[in-house]
């Protein structure tokens, strides 16, 4: 089993869209692998895209795929699964089928071997109940059992797939809420998308502090008393740093602009220093972090069309597209650069 969590403590860096592209493209290239997407963000943007985007021809909200999944009993979402766990916190769920959906049933552009555990805004409401359950004094390993709930779900998915290979992609909310912690315990590795600005650099520093309890003297003193310390004490494995994706880079003559390059270099230097002192945090401790940096150019119209219509990379075509009565043009050259960059990123998985 291989599982990647897409996470940065900063929002707006393109995690959900990058996860959508990676999941659909990987599933397309590996038809004998079952690709499971678990949407652990209450906003559920990734689920919306996979289920057909935002260009529904229906004006009736009850016809939207997300609405139909949420209205099922139990809810056919990640919140439905977590509700079931809350009802019986320390027992496995015998049948996970009610919580899975096949996006291709709603969106014919998605490969048939991709499965989704849909996001749900109820996730935010459930988070406090999940946290309190993890703090119960009996059983003595309550915290460890609760933070493994999503890992349990993945284990059930592997059983469902039988002899087929599996890949899991987990989309995370920027916050370090308990549902994000569940994702980072379930995943083997973390993919960290960022944009070339200093708030992204600070977001990555927070990833290191929150997940591993590593940082400057001030932040580390707080981080170590929470998740990182508890995980170490209870022998809970947490995801390692895998790939850093410099997303939406502005290019000039095919290369990052000076401003973007300068900030990109600052972030690389930050990771180089962390790697020097804490190699065990990385998926490949012997490899310089700079080898795992991928540049994705700004994709402008391609992103708008893909996200609005739920169109994967392999089905995205250059030319005019009509969205909500407006004409949107995808030019061949930028689309080619974008596809090449994403091909490089997917080769890291």
Per-residue pLDDT reduced to its tens digit, 1-56? 799 999 999 998 989 999 999 999 999 999 999 999 999 999 999 999 999 987 65
Residue 294 has pLDDT above 80, yes or no: yes
C-alpha span between 149 and 89 (Å, rounded): 9
Binned at pLDDT 50, 70 and 90, residue 265 comes out as confident
Which of these, 299, 200, 295, 301, lies nearest to 245 by C-alpha position?
Answer: 295
C-alpha span between 12 and 194 (Å, rounded): 9
Give the pairing of strands 240-249 and 293-297: parallel
Comparing 154 with 348, the larger pLDDT belongs to 154
Give the pairing of strands 33-40 and 2-6: unpaired
Sign of CA dihedral 33, 34, 35, 40: negative
User: Tell me, what's the pLDDT at 33?
Assistant: 97
Q: 3-class SS at 292?
A: helix
CATH superfamily of 2-347: P-loop containing nucleotide triphosphate hydrolases (3.40.50.300)
User: Tell me, what's the pLDDT at 262?
Assistant: 80
Q: List the domain boundaries for the chain.
A: 2-347
Sign of CA dihedral 185, 190, 192, 198: positive
Comparing 6 with 200, the larger pLDDT belongs to 6
User: Tell me, what's the pLDDT at 196?
Assistant: 78
Bond preceding residue 19 cis, omega within 30 of 0: no
Q: Residue 253 — left, alpha, or beta (φ > 0 → left; ψ -120 to 50 → alpha)?
A: left
User: Tell me, what's the pLDDT at 78?
Assistant: 98
Residue 60 has pLDDT above 60, yes or no: no
């Amino acid at each position: 089993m291989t599982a990647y969590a897409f996470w940065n403590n900063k929002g707006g860096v393109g995690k959900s869209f990058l996860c959508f592209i990676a999941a659909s493209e990987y599933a397309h290239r590996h038809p004998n692998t079952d690709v499971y997407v678990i949407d652990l963000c209450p906003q559920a943007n990734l689920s919306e895209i996979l289920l057909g985007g935002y260009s529904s021809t229906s004006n009736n909200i009850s016809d939207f795929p997300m609405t139909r999944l949420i209205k099922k009993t139990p809810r056919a979402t990640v919140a439905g699964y977590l509700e079931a766990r809350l009802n019986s916190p320390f027992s496995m769920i015998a049948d996970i089928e009610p919580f899975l959906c096949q996006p291709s049933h709603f969106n014919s552009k998605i490969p048939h071997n991709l499965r989704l555990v849909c996001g749900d805004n109820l996730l935010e409401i459930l988070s406090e109940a999940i946290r309190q359950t993890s703090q119960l004094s009996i059983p003595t390993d309550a915290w460890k059992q609760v933070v493994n709930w999503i890992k349990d779900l993945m284990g059930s998915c592997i059983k469902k797939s039988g002899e087929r290979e599996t890949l899991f992609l987990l989309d995370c909310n920027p916050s370090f809420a308990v549902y994000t912690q569940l994702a980072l315990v379930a995943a083997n590795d973390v993919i960290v998308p960022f944009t070339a600005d200093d708030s992204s650099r600070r977001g990555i520093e927070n990833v290191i502090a929150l997940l591993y309890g590593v940082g400057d003297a001030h932040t580390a003193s707080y981080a170590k008393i929470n998740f990182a310390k508890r995980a170490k004490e209870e022998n809970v494995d947490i995801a390692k740093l895998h790939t850093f994706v410099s997303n939406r880079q502005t290019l000039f003559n095919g290369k990052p602009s000076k401003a973007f390059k300068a900030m990109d270099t600052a972030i690389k230097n930050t990771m180089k220093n962390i790697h020097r002192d804490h190699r065990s945090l990385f998926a490949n401790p012997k490899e310089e972090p700079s080898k795992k940096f991928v540049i994705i150019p700004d994709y402008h119209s391609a992103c708008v069309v893909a996200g609005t219509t739920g169109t994967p990379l392999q089905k995205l075509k250059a030319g005019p597209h009509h969205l909500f009565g407006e004409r949107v043009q995808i030019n061949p050259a930028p689309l080619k650069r974008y596809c090449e960059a994403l091909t490089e990123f997917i080769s890291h998985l």
